[in-house]
Amino acid sequence: MNYREFGSSGLKVSEVGFGAWAVGGNAHGNSYGTTDDRTSFEAVHKALSLGCNFFDTADVYGWGHSEELLGRALKGQRDRVIIATKVGGDFYSGPGRQNFSPAYVRSALEKSLERLKTDYIDIYQLHNPPLKLIENPASYELLQELKREGKIRTWGISIFDPIEGLTALKVAHPDCLQVVYNIFSPKAGEELLPRAANAGCAVIAREPLANGFLSGKYSIDSQFEPGDIRHHWPRAYIGARTAAADRLRALLSPSTATLCQLALKFVLANSSVSVVIPGIKTVEQAEENLATSDSAPLSKETLSRIHDLYLHNFGLGRSSGSPLS
């Protein structure tokens, strides 16, 4: 396992981390399908044994269940791991609600600390806040206060659009930004990632496998259970993503033997990325994803071919649907 500096925070993180959204389960929807806690527990332990020290979750994942599972699985390992979680999804008041008020954030943090069985959070992130909040310098005052109190070591923002990250860098000095960055969605690499690096801001690259479609295990006929975020996705969109993933198979090599590893190596080829967080639900996924760190980097030729495929919509034709988000 290779390790990278986490911006200018002084933290050192495994370049491949553990994305813990999926292990929150499907009891409350907003999921990646049904999970088994024993299997999830074993996956966390396998990741630890393979050198992973970065675990990213959110309080809303499984309405606290992801945090609870990590708290149990990481018991006795606190000094070995970096825990990142998020706040703002106010599931206590019902699904789909957001709340970033100082009183709510303080209350939610205490509950996260209890579930994670720790007295501090390494990386505390605002979870997909609206642009209006990102633009307001007052939005970050409590986070700075919590940092001074020792409740959190660093703070950041999980965003959707790169423009949100660029705005945050102008308004405040976040320790990190979490953003979608993958072969289908490389936009963040154009301006946001270099600017973050120049500002000493760490970058957490999320959805590196494009919601699982860069794993190569899905087809146009794949079905997703109710509660899975992909359950209502249009069939044409699913077909476009699976077809685009198939185009990438020609780029596989002995060092990147699977599509997962190709996709993760693409993200890691950007030196501005501090850590990439594929979702992991099983021991097998932990082994495949974390082995990526020890494989050879993608060649300039392979990266150029990926870029060319992206520019030409993966050969799908503009009228036949796009895998891009």
pLDDT digits (tens, 9 = 90+) for 52-74: 999 999 999 999 999 999 999 99
Whole-number Cα distances in Å, 136 to 132, 168, 172, 220, 232: 7, 9, 9, 43, 35
Q: Contact, 178 vs 159, CB < 8 A?
A: yes
Q: For the range 306-309, what are the long-range contacts, defined as Cβ-Cβ under 8 Å and sequence gap of 24 or more?
A: 306/183, 306/248, 306/251, 306/266, 307/186, 309/244, 309/247, 309/248
Catalytic residue among 61, 124, 181, 218: 61
Examine the pLDDT at 264 and tell me if it is beyond 80.
yes
Per-residue pLDDT, averaged over 258-286, amounts to 97
How many residues are there in the chain? 325
Structural element, H or E, at residue 19: strand 18-19
Residue 151 to residue 291: CA distance in whole angstroms: 33
Q: What is the dihedral of CA 174, 180, 183, 189, to 10 degrees?
A: -30
Examine the pLDDT at 298 and tell me if it is beyond 90.
yes
Return the half-sphere exposure (C-beta side, CA atoms, 13 A cut-off) of residue 77.
Answer: 21
Using DSSP's 3-state secondary structure scheme, residue 121 falls into strand
Q: Contact, 14 vs 184, CB < 8 A?
A: no
Q: Where are the beta strands (DSSP E) in 75-119?
A: 82-87
Using DSSP's 3-state secondary structure scheme, residue 83 falls into strand
pLDDT over 70 percentage in the chain: 98
Examine the pLDDT at 268 and tell me if it is beyond 90.
yes
Active-site residue flag, 61: yes
Per-residue pLDDT tens for 89-106?
999 998 889 999 999 999
Query: Phi and psi (nearest 5°) for 49?
Result: -65, -20
- pLDDT of 150 reads 97
Per-residue pLDDT, averaged over 248-264, amounts to 92
How many angstroms separate the most distant Cα atoms in the chain?
55
Examine the pLDDT at 322 and tell me if it is beyond 80.
no
- pLDDT of 321 reads 59
Of 203, 216, 305, nearest to 260 by C-alpha is 216
**pLDDT band for position 317 (cuts 50, 70, 90):** confident
Residue 147 to residue 103: CA distance in whole angstroms: 16
**pLDDT band for position 325 (cuts 50, 70, 90):** low
Examine the pLDDT at 80 and tell me if it is beyond 70.
yes
Of 174, 170, 202, nearest to 270 by C-alpha is 202
The CA-based angle 212-178-53, given to 5 degrees, is 80
Domains and CATH numbers, the chain: 3-233+262-296 (3.20.20.100)
Structural element, H or E, at residue 315: none
Using DSSP's 3-state secondary structure scheme, residue 180 falls into strand
Per-residue pLDDT tens for 188-232?
999 999 999 999 999 999 999 999 999 999 999 999 999 999 999
pTM of the predicted structure, to 2 decimals: 0.96
Q: Contact, 188 vs 181, CB < 8 A?
A: yes
